[in-house]
Structure 1
Amino acid sequence: MLIKTTAALCLLATAALAQQTDITIGMQLEPPNLDPTGGAAAAIDEVVYANVFEGLTRFGPDGSVQPALAESWDVSEDGTVWTFKLREGVEFHDGSTMDAEDVVFSLDRARAEDSTNAQKALFEAIESVEALDPSTVKITLSAPNGNLGFNLAWGDAVIVAPETADTNASNPVGTGPFVFTDWVQGDRVDLTRNPDYWGEAPALEKATFKFISDPNAAFSALMAGDLDAFPNFPAPETLSSFEADPRFNVIIGSTEGETILGINNANITDVKVRQAIAHAIDRQAIIDGAMFGYGTPIGTHFAPHNPDYVDLTAQSAYDPEKARALLAEAGATDLKLRLMLPPPVYARRGGEIIASQLREVGIETEISNLEWAQWLEQVFKGKDFDLTIVSHTEPADINIYARPDYYFQYDNPAFQTLIENIGITTDDAERSAMLRQAQQIIADDYVNAYLFQLAKTGVADARIQGLWENAPTQANDLTGVSWSE
Structure 2
Amino acid sequence: MRSPRLRLTAGLLLAPLLSGCFSSSGDDSSSDSSGSSEGGRLRVALAFQPTENYSPYGEDAFSLSRLGVAEGLTRLDANGTAVPALAESWRSEQGGKSWLFTLRDAKFQDGSDVTAEAVASALAHAAEAEPAPAAISGVKLTAEAVGEDQVKVSTADADPVLPLRLTNPSLAVFSEKAYGKDGKVNPVGTATGPFELTKTTGDTAATLDRFDDYWGGRAQASGIDARFVSDGTARANALRTGDVDIAEAVPVAQVASLDKDTVHEINTARNTSLYLNTQAGVFKDAGLRAAAREAIDPSVVARGVYEGYAEPAQGLYGPALTWASGKRIEPTGRAKAADPKAKSITIATYNDRPELAEAAQVLQQQLQKAGFKVKLEVRTYARLESDLLAGKFDAAVVSRNMMLDTGDPVTVLASDYTCDGSYNLSFLCDKDVDKLVAAAQAESDPPKRQDAAMKAEAAILGRDAEIPLVHLKVVTGIGTSVKGALLDPYEREFVGSGTRR
1:354 and 2:363 matched: yes
Residue 286 in structure 1 maps to residue 305 in structure 2? no
Aligned position for 2:380: 371
Match of residue 166, structure 2, among 149, 152, 162: 152
Q: Please say if 1:208 is aligned against 2:222.
A: no
Task: Specify the alignment match of 1:255 in structure 2.
Answer: 268
- Give the corresponding residue for 2:57: 38
Name 2:114's counterpart in structure 1: 98
Give yes or no for contact 1:144–1:423 (8 Å, CA) kept in 2. Answer: no
1:22 aligns with 2:41: yes
Contact 2:64–2:70 (CA under 8 A) maintained in structure 1: no
TM-score of the superposed pair, with normalisation by structure 2: 0.83
- Measured after TM superposition, the shift of residue 391 of structure 1 is 1.1
Q: Is the 8 A contact 1:24 1:229 kept in 2?
A: yes
What one-letter code is carried by the residue in structure 2 that aligns with 1:280? Answer: A
Q: Which structure 2 residues correspond to residues 452-471 of structure 1 after superposition, within 5 A?
A: 452-471=470-489
Deviations 1:163-210 (A, max 9, x none): 213454573621111111222235321111001212222211111222
Structure 1 position 300 matched with structure 2 position 315? yes
- Contact 2:46/2:229 (8 A) holds in 1: yes
Query: What's the counterpart of residue 140 of structure 1?
Result: 154
Question: Is structure 2 residue 128 aligned with structure 1 residue 109?
Answer: no
2 CA distance for matches of 1:70 and 1:313? 36
Q: How big is the shift at 1:103? A: 2.0
CA contact (8 A) 1:144 1:425 kept: no
Q: Deviations over 1:139-172 (max 9, x none)?
A: 2232322211110001111112332134545736
The answer as to whether partners of 1:310 and 1:439 remain within 8 angstroms in 2 is: no
Shift of 1:50: 6.7
Name the amino acid aligned to 1:363: F
C-alpha spacing 1:34/1:171, structure 2 compared with 1 (3 Å):
farther
Which residue does 1:189 correspond to in 2?
206
Are the equivalent residues in 2 in contact too, given 1:301–1:398 (CA < 8 A)? no
Is 2:391 the partner of 1:383?
Answer: yes
Per-residue deviation, 1:51: 0.9
Q: Which of residues 214, 223, 229 is equivalent to 2:246?
A: 229
Counterparts of residues 270-285 of structure 1 (less than 5 Å)? 270-285=285-300
CA gap of 1:434–1:315, structure 2 versus 1, over 3 A, is closer
Note the residue ranges of structure 2 that are not aligned, 5 or more in a row: 1-29
**1:5 alignment partner in structure 2:** none
- Letter of the 2:121 counterpart: F
CA deviations over 1:75-119 (Å, ceiling 9, x no partner): 12622221000112x22212222211122222222222x533341
What are the equivalent positions in structure 2 for 1:79-98 lying under 5 Å apart? 79-88=96-105, 90-98=106-114
- 2:248 is matched by which residue type in structure 1? P
Q: Does the CA contact (< 8 Å) of 1:34 and 1:172 recur in 2?
A: no
Unmatched runs of 5 consecutive residues or more in structure 1:
1-11, 317-322
Note the 1:409-448 alignment, pairs <5 A: 409-448=427-466
Higher radius of gyration, 1 or 2: 1
1:327 matched to which residue of 2?
Answer: 338
Distance 1:58 1:366 in 2: 41
Supply the AA of the counterpart residue of 1:367.
L
1:337–1:365 contact (8 Å) kept in structure 2:
yes
Cross-structure match for 1:240:
256
Within 1, Cα distance between the matches of 2:31 and 2:159? 55
Percent identity of the aligned residues?
20
Give the alignment's Cα RMSD to 1 decimal.
2.8
Could you tell me which residue of structure 1 aligns to residue 82 of structure 2? Answer: 65
Q: 1:401 to 1:67 in 2, by over 3 A?
A: same
- Asked if the contact 2:49/2:382 (under 8 Å) is kept, the reply is no
- Give the letter for the 2:165 counterpart: N
The number of residues matched between the two structures is 453
Aligned to 1:8: none
- In the alignment, the residues of structure 1 paired with residue 97 and residue 272 of structure 2 have an alpha-carbon distance, to the nearest angstrom, of 35
Q: Give the match for residue 95 of structure 2.
A: 78
- Distance in 2 between residues matched to 1:225 and 1:76, nearest whole Å: 52
Cα pair distance change 1:172/1:440, threshold 3 Å: farther
**d(CA) in 1 for partners of 2:266 and 2:483?**
15
Which residue identity lines up with residue 32 of structure 1 in the other structure? T
Pair 1:351–1:313, CA change in 2 (3 A): farther
Contact 2:178 2:187 in 1 (8 A): no
